[in-house]
Amino acid sequence: MTENADLTSVLDRAAQGGRITAEEALELYRRAPLHALGQAADAARRRRYAGTEHIATYIIERNINYTNACVTACKFCAFYAAPKSDRVWTRDLDDILRRCAETVELGGTQIMFQGGHHPDYGVEYYERHFSAIKKAYPELVIHSLGASEVEHMARISGVSAEEAIRRIHAAGLDSFAGAGAELLPRRARTAIAPLKESGERWLEIMELAHGLGVESTSTMLMGTGETNAERIEHLRMIRDVQDRTGGFRAFIPYTYQPENNTLKGRTQATVFEYLRLIAVARLFLDNVAHIQGSWLTVGKDAGQLTLHYGADDLGSVMLEENVVSSAGARHRSNLTELLHLIRAAGRVPAQRSTTYEHLVVNEDPADDPEEGRVVSHLSSTALDGGSAHPGLKLVDAG
C-alpha cells in the first residue's frame, strides 16, 4: 500500500469516528494534503453534531485582569511585571465589580478572571472576590483560572490543591478556563515557562478538579519553538486524561504573539500550521466535544477558516483582553462582524453558554441583534482606543 493510501485510510477512519493513534496523528499533521485533512475533520464535526451541524457558536464574555504582578516570568508573556517592579498594578474589588456590571449590561454571560501569580494572593483572595461577584451578579458564570493558579494559591495558603479547588468552587468558581497549559511536554514547557509546574502536574490538578465536579476547557500555545511531535504529544496527554475524566469541554489552541516578551519573536506558527492543528485535533480528540478557533490570535480570516477544518466554535466577542494583546494581538471584532464571519462560512451563528448550550440561534439575519456597543477590547488598555465605551451607562455595582 502506498503512503498516500495509508494516509487516506487513516483519514477515513477518523472521519467516521474511529480512534487514531498519536503516531497516526503525527503523520497526518506532517503529511496529509491540507484539503483532505480539512475535509476529514469537517466530516468528523458534522458526524458528531448531526442535526445541528449547520450551527457554529460564539459567546459574549470578558477577561477581567486583576493584577499583572507575577512570579513565574514566562518567556512568551508580555503582560506580567515582576512583583517589585514599578509597573505592577492591581484592580480593587469595586473596579472588578464595575467591570462585571458592564458585562451584564452588554449581554455578556461569562467572565474569565485572569492575572498574574501574585506573591500574596492565596486561596482567600479568590474566595473573597468570587463570592462578591456571585453575590452581586449571580447570572455571570465565573469560568476562570487553571491548574497553575491552583498550584500557586495552594502554596501561598499552605493547603492542598484539592482544598484550594473545593474552596474556590464553593465561593463561586463555576469552571476552569484551562489557563497555564501552554505546552505540556517537558522540554517545550521548560524552555518557555521554567518556573511553572510540570505538564504532568498541570494535568494532575485538572484531573483532580474534574473528579471534584469542576469541569474545564483545555488550551495549547503554538509557535514557541516546539516540534511537531511535541504538539501531538500535547494532544495525547490531554486525551489520556479525558479518557479517565470526561471533564474537558473543549480544546482551544492559540498562537504565540511575538511582541514585548523575552522570546522576542524568534519563532511563530503559520496560519497553515494552525489550521492543520485544528483539523488534527478534531480527528484525534475523539473524546473532547468542542474545538474552538482563535480569531483573536490568528486573525479573523483564519479564524473563519477554522470552521471548515473541524472547529464548531469561533470563540467570543471579548469585551476586555490584555494578555495576548500586550504581546501584539491586534485583532478586534464586534458582535455584528462575528455573526457575519460565521454566516460567510456557510454556518448559522448561535450564542452559547459556558457549557455550550445554545442560548440564541440566529437563524434569520433579519433578526440579528443590533447592539453596536458589543465590541471586543472596549476597555483593553493594551490596545489603542481601548477605553470604556463612552455611550455605555454602567449599572450600579454597589
What backbone torsions phi and psi does residue 327 show, to the nearest 5 degrees? Answer: -95, 5
Distance, C-alpha 292 to centroid of its chain: 8
pLDDT at 395 over 70: no
Mean pLDDT of 3-12: 86
Question: DSSP letters of 298-326?
Answer: H-HHHHHHHTTTT--EEEEEES---HHHH
**Helices 34-48, 3-15: crossing angle, 10 deg rounding:** 20
Range of the domain at 204: 18-367
- For residue 373, pLDDT beyond 80: no
pLDDT digits (tens, 9 = 90+) for 206-244: 999 999 999 999 999 999 999 999 999 999 999 999 999
Contact call for residues 225 and 235 (beta carbons, < 8 A):
no
Write down the H helix ranges in the chain. 3-15, 22-31, 34-48, 93-105, 123-136, 147-157, 161-171, 186-192, 199-211, 228-245, 271-284, 295-298, 300-306, 323-326, 335-344
Q: Measure the CA–CA gap between 185 and 231, rounded to whole angstroms.
A: 8
Q: CB-hemisphere CA count at 13 Å for 301?
A: 2
Q: Residue 259: pLDDT band by 50, 70, 90 thresholds? A: low
Q: Tell me how crowded residue 32 is: count the other CB atoms within 10 A of its CB.
A: 22
- pLDDT over 90 for what percent of the chain? 64
DSSP 368: -
The count of structural domains within the chain is: 1
Please check whether residue 383 lies inside any domain of the structure: no
H-run or E-run covering 77: none
pLDDT tens digits, one per residue of 292-318 = 998 877 888 888 999 999 999 998 876
Residue 80 to residue 116: CA distance in whole angstroms: 6
Q: Which residues pair with 352 in a beta bridge?
A: 358
In a domain, 156, yes or no: yes
For the residues 41-60, what does the mean pLDDT come to?
96
Rounded to whole angstroms, the Cα distance separating 94 from 397 reads 7
CB count within 10 Å of CB 204 equals 16
Q: What is the mean pLDDT of the chain?
A: 87
What 8-state DSSP symbol labels residue 107?
T
pLDDT of 397 above 60: no
Q: Domain of 217: which CATH number?
A: 3.20.20.70
Given pLDDT bands bounded at 50, 70 and 90, which one contains residue 49? very high
What digits encode the pLDDT tens for the residues 18-33?
Answer: 999 999 999 999 999 9
- Asked if residue 268 is part of any domain, the answer here is yes
Q: What is the DSSP string of 89-101?
A: -B--HHHHHHHHH
pTM of the shown model: 0.89
- Which grid coordinates belong to 204? 494532575
pLDDT at 133: 97
* Residue 258: per-residue pLDDT: 66
Structure confidence at residue 375 (pLDDT): 57
Those residues whose C-beta lies under 8 Å from the C-beta of residue 291, and which sit 6 or more positions away, are 45, 250, 251, 252, 278, 281, 282, 285, 306, 310, 311, 312, 313
Q: What does the alpha-carbon distance between residue 393 and residue 105 come to, in Å, rounded to a whole number?
A: 8
Dihedral sign (CA 134, 211, 118, 141): negative
pLDDT digits (tens, 9 = 90+) for 83-129: 888 888 888 999 999 989 988 988 899 999 888 899 999 999 999 99
- pLDDT surpasses 50 at 389: no
For 10-21, write each residue's pLDDT tens digit.
Answer: 999 999 999 999
377 found inside a domain: no
pLDDT at 115: 87
CA 361 to chain centre: 22
Q: Report d(CA 237, CA 329) in Å as an integer.
A: 28
Choose between 105 and 156: higher pLDDT.
Answer: 156
Question: Is the residue at 226 inside a domain?
Answer: yes
382 occurs within a structural domain:
no
User: Is residue 222 a part of any domain in this protein?
Assistant: yes
User: Quick check: is 341 in a domain?
Assistant: yes
DSSP character string of 2-18: -HHHHHHHHHHHHHTT-
Grid cell, residue 132, equals 462578591
Residue 326 has pLDDT above 70, yes or no: no
